[in-house]
Amino acid sequence: MPTTSKPRTAFDQQGEQSDAARVDAALHSFVSEFGVTAALHMESCVRCGLCAQACHFYLATGDAKYTPIRKLELFRRSYLREASPFAPLVRALGLVKKPGIADLQQWQELLYDSCTLCGRCTLACPMGIDMAELVKVARHGMFKAGLVPDRLALMDRAARQWGSTATPGEDLPDILAEAGKAHGVEIPCDLAHADILVTAAPAELGDNTKALADAAKILNHIGASWTMHQGGFDASNIGFNNGDLELQEQLTRALIDTAVKIGASTVLLPECGHAYGAARWEAAKWYGQALPVRVIHMTEFLDELVSTQRIRLRQIGDTATFHDPCQIVRRGGLEAAARRVLAALGVELIELQDHGVTAFCCGGGGGVVSNQRAAPLRQKVFEIKRQQVDATGAERFITSCGQCLITLEMGAKNAQWDKRAESLLALVADNLAD
């Protein structure tokens, strides 16, 4: 008789904890993070459903389980049982069932496969509930329970060992030397003193070293004092996405402490959205005070160079549309900066139907692009972006996040779409005027 293969489980797990220990670890983490803000969020939801219409995963599939409020259901149950004003009564009367291991296993898909932390649901919520932040907090508990997708857990282990998901720090000098030679530009490494510490995203240390060369070309063009450094070079911060707070702190401190060590006043982040969230907005919590250095995104840097006329750009004169990276624009506030740079390039901008703070995510943020299990969902979400780009009729399609570029390229390949996404940084580097 033919044998039936066992269906693949919809969850991954790490470590040897018992099921009971996993549940306890997750719930302990949830309860420890139920501060005033989280409590207000939990108490404020009126079940209006507006967040559902903001979520690309729900819109792309029509499946109610992907609505943002469903993604927070276990968090809500944990709050009601353990931290709400009537928690003792709720437990005594059994009004809310305690989450079990099966609940956590099913929840893994909702937190890691079908949420990019994009914050569009947060923007839509009339009660001001930051659902994206709550999902990120929920991931802290899932990581403690050893219930993270295996691909993300593998990247977590690499970053703990190497300081990067891409390469050990000791290999950085060779990578930069080869990239500089390939692209005809000098990329300094491990200088004892520099004004700017330049960081990278993992893809820039592998297949896309042109991004490193583009940054170097611009920095050398303006005569900046800058370097990359083995001590802190990968800004993407997989700990931020996975819910691994210990690793998030380790990677963040590596950047800031290295900048202080070499006397840099500025940490320049790559074209990476989650690097911006982790280093620009969350770094200070590890220090308990204002950071000793300025942390800025590449988009901010380019905008400042253009606005102060430290660089002049050739006019490319094409029509273009722009994909707004969620962490940089909606949650980071850099909507106008990229558009000023595009204007300096002489681009005629044709906006997407949903753009700026209301733009749809590329579908790969929050670690989803690295989570192979989520590929079918990601491809469905990509269709929303593809249709909006096609509707503009623009000649070029530009963005300012390297992870978005990767996601969009993967989506285009799967959909056999002929529109190629381009990097804002690359456009500036390729069109510097003498």
Could you write out the DSSP letters of every residue in 242-300? HT-HHHHHHHHHHHHHHHHHTT-SEEEE-S-HHHIIIIIISTHHHHTS--SSEEEEHHH
Report the percentage of the chain scoring pLDDT > 90: 85
Give the pLDDT of residue 4.
42
The phi and psi torsions of 364 (rounded to 5 degrees) equal: -120, 0
Domain boundaries, the chain: 19-148, 167-304, 306-430
Write out pLDDT tens, residues 235-269. Answer: 999 999 999 999 999 999 999 999 999 999 999 99
Query: What's the confidence (pLDDT) of residue 9?
Result: 53
pLDDT of residue 289: 85
Nearest of 382, 368, 411 to residue 117 by alpha carbon: 368
**What per-residue confidence (pLDDT) applies to 366?**
94
Q: Do domains 167-304 and 306-430 have the same CATH topology?
A: yes
Q: Which two tokens stand for residue 297?
A: 């995104």
Looking at per-residue pLDDT, the higher value among 74 and 161 belongs to: 161
CATH fold group of domain 306-430:
Rossmann fold (3.40.50)
Q: Taking the complete model, does pTM exceed 0.75, yes or no?
A: yes
The 8-class DSSP code of residue 118 comes to -
- For 330-381, the pLDDT digits (tens) are 999 999 999 999 999 999 999 999 999 999 999 999 999 999 999 999 999 9
Q: Which tens digits make up the pLDDT trace of 292-327?
A: 999 999 999 999 999 999 999 999 989 999 999 999
Q: Does an H or E element contain 364, and which?
A: none
19-148, CATH topology level: Fumarate Reductase Iron-sulfur Protein; Chain B, domain 2 (1.10.1060)
Q: The CATH number of 167-304 is which of 3.40.50, 1.10.3470, 1.20.120, 3.30.70? A: 3.40.50
CA distance 14 to 242: 13
Rounded Cα distance, 325 and 365, in Å:
9
Q: 385-428: per-residue pLDDT in tens?
A: 999 999 999 999 999 999 999 999 999 999 999 999 999 999 99
Burial class of residue 372, CB neighbours in 10 A (0-12, 13-18, 19+)? exposed
